[in-house]
Amino acid sequence: MPREFRYKRRVEFYETDQAGIVHFSWFYRYMEEAEHAMWREAGMSIASTEFHVGWPRVAASFEFFKPLRFEDEFEVRLRIEEISDKTIRYSCELMKDDAKLAAGTMKTACVTRAPGVPMKSTAIPADIAARLSVFKKED
């Protein structure tokens, strides 16, 4: 069982649509906020200049089960399903109380990041993989 990272949040008014529920695009932002918080928990920043790498998203999806509304408190439960040589695949669930509101996945690629140089996939630095491994699904 992977170690689950939990990130709590409250819905802000500007995140809702005309029907008074959270617009679907915000679920992706919530997942990304939790990812960044997970990296901080592991003692790093996803935007660190130390490693000269970036993390573009190569795939993302969500299934929606129940709505979120203004001022609802909820939790994003994020796990790393797989760390390969060059990618990280996350899964998440958004929960309110004991109800699953949505489930999603996101895959990021590790790429070189330098001014004036085109992005190119590269191996995930060993230190990053090691620090994130505490959130990785056990094989």
Mean per-residue pLDDT of the chain: 93
Residues 6+ apart with CB under 8 A from 10: 71, 72, 73, 74
Number of structural domains the chain divides into = 1
Longest dimension (CA), the chain: 48
pLDDT tens sequence across 48-106: 887 789 999 999 999 999 999 999 999 999 999 999 999 999 999 999 999 999 999 99
SS3 of residue 15 by DSSP: helix
Residue 114 CA to residue 53 CA, distance in Å, equals: 8
Residue 1 reports pLDDT greater than 60: no
Residue 127 catalytic? no
The catalytic residue among 17, 72, 85, 139 is 17
SS3 of residue 38 by DSSP: helix
Tokens coding 82: 């797989």
The CA dihedral of 5, 11, 17, 23, to the nearest 10 degrees, is: 0
Residue 36 reports pLDDT greater than 70: yes
CATH of the domain at 44: 3.10.129.10
13: containing domain: 5-135
Q: What is the pTM of this model?
A: 0.91
